[in-house]
Amino acid sequence: MTTLAPLTETPAPAPRAPSSGAAAAAVAPPSPRPAAARLAAEAAAVGRVPGRVGPAGGPVLVCVAGLHGNEPAGVAGLARVLAGLRADPEGLRGELVGVLGNRSALIEGKRYLRRDLNRMWRAERLDRLRAGGAPEEPEEEELSALDRELSAVLAGAAGKIYVLDLHTTSAPGPAFAVLDDTLANRAFALSLGVPLVVGLEEELDGPLLHDLIDRGAVGAGFESGQHDDPEAVDVAAAAVWVALEASGVLAPASRPEVTAARRLLAAGAAGLPRVTEVVYRHPVAAGDGFAMAPGFRGFDPVDAGQALARDRGGPLTAARRGRLLMPLYQSQGEDGYFLVQDVHPVWLRLSTGLRRLRLERWLHLLPGVRRHPELAGAFVVDREVARWFALEVFHLLGFRRHRGPGRELVVSRRADPGPW
């Protein structure tokens, strides 16, 4: 198997953000391509699995990188860790499996060719492809091949499976983790030592992590910084090292790289909230003419009414006070920006206690709440009747919004593979 060497050259500067009055045009890629992007393209041309190290029979950490082809830092960071473990396997008691996402888009340096691969993991499409249906577009070919690879890993694992999905953002900003908020996923994500964003999974339709968690894995997404920032490679590699120990693939205190990684991640998280929750998403559609105002970073505080962007309808302002997350400074993408609010640590402790008491068994007895007639473990909430029983309370009990706004809110229990 081809060994990918660590990066040694300095990537080109990151692209600048477009001006607030410009249409959402693509930011011209640096020339020559940054080192991480070149490495990612070379790795994608070689194969789907850039590396697999460690003994079988123990826990397995699957690191997915490059689901978006303009996010090479995760590929480069993963390659660095794989190279280090091949050279010195000290402490390994399980397997690290590296898997590349959208290989075609990585080679082209584009987020996707026709469709976002991280919005395609829906049951109806997967069922069709798994039954032998022919892929109908480039990303369906990628989806089918990636699904086969991941299914083989899941089927062959003797121990517990963990997943770390590596990403970057178009705007600069600190690293953070996202998750489907089960207790097992939360413990894994919190071990990474960066701000944790909950509720984002409710805003995304068909991401890979949903499918893998539904199939029994414990997992988290990890955003390591801006796409072409060389530090994003270092941060992605640090996340992999910490996840290796958190998952039990590495024995505790067996590697100095983990200690160094924790220091790097802690430095980047200094002064930031431990946990935030998504309270607003601004969707973007073709023809909107969306353009983010320049100069924003991830987790920047914003005030209600503050100008954030423009589209064909005019200025776009913050719907409420909070922090700005993932402002869009690239041509491809369906999310203009998110707003998040800080979550006090006491809510995490309360949430854990309530879930362990399994209070969901009695929810249907509350005014305005009834069991869903078709979906097992789901509830229908009449928000006019149960105004006090808001979505945030269901979040505490481990539920997520299943579909629809409107008067009736449908919530379903997050699948939890068990204590972490």
Q: Rounded CA gap, 101 and 133, in Å?
A: 20
pLDDT at 383 over 80: no
Q: Are strands 291-292 and 218-226 parallel, antiparallel or unpaired?
A: unpaired
Report the mean per-residue pLDDT for the chain. 87
Could you write out the DSSP letters of every residue in 115-170? S-GGG---HHHHHHHHTTPPP-SHHHHHHHHHHHHHHHHHHH-SS-EEEEEEEEES
- The pTM assigned to this predicted structure is 0.86
Question: Which residue did the predictor score with more confidence, 16 or 255?
Answer: 255
Tens digit of each residue's pLDDT (9 = 90 or more) over 281-304? 999 998 999 999 999 999 999 999
Poorest-confidence range of 201-210, 238-247, 267-276?
201-210
* 3-state class (DSSP) for residue 298: coil
Question: Which band of pLDDT confidence, cut at 50, 70 and 90, is reported for residue 390?
Answer: low
CA-to-CA separations, 28 to 173, 187, 330, in angstroms, rounded: 20, 39, 9
Contact 40, 7 (CB under 8 A): no
What pLDDT was estimated at residue 345? 82
* 3-state class (DSSP) for residue 36: helix
Query: Is 55 exposed, middle or buried, given 0-12, 13-18 or 19+ CB atoms closer than 10 A?
Result: exposed
What pLDDT was estimated at residue 413? 72
Question: Which residue did the predictor score with more confidence, 48 or 394?
Answer: 48
Number of Cβ atoms within 10 Å of the Cβ of 66:
28
pLDDT at 217 over 80: yes
* Token pair recorded at residue 291: 């353009």
Question: Which band of pLDDT confidence, cut at 50, 70 and 90, is reported for residue 165?
Answer: very high
Q: Rounded CA gap, 274 and 258, in Å?
A: 20
What pLDDT was estimated at residue 10? 30
First to last CA, the chain: 33
Poorest-confidence range of 3-12, 155-164, 265-274?
3-12
pLDDT at 311 over 90: yes
Which domains does the chain carry? 1-343 (3.40.630.10), 360-413 (no CATH)
pLDDT at 74 over 90: yes
Question: Which band of pLDDT confidence, cut at 50, 70 and 90, is reported for residue 389?
Answer: low
Q: Return phi, psi of residue 92, to 5°.
A: -70, 125
What pLDDT was estimated at residue 392? 66
* Residue in the block written with tokens 């589209």: 311
pLDDT at 31 over 50: no
Give pairs for 119-123: CB < 8 Å, separation 24+. 119/204, 119/205, 119/206, 119/207, 119/334, 120/206, 121/206, 121/207, 121/208, 121/210, 121/211, 122/205, 122/206
What pLDDT was estimated at residue 269? 98
pLDDT at 3 over 80: no
Tens digit of each residue's pLDDT (9 = 90 or more) over 251-277? 999 999 999 999 999 999 999 999 999
What pLDDT was estimated at residue 13? 31
Q: Rounded CA gap, 280 and 385, in Å?
A: 23
Mean pLDDT value across residues 346-350: 83
Helices (H), 30-134: 35-46, 73-87, 103-108, 123-130
Q: Rounded CA gap, 247 and 184, in Å?
A: 11
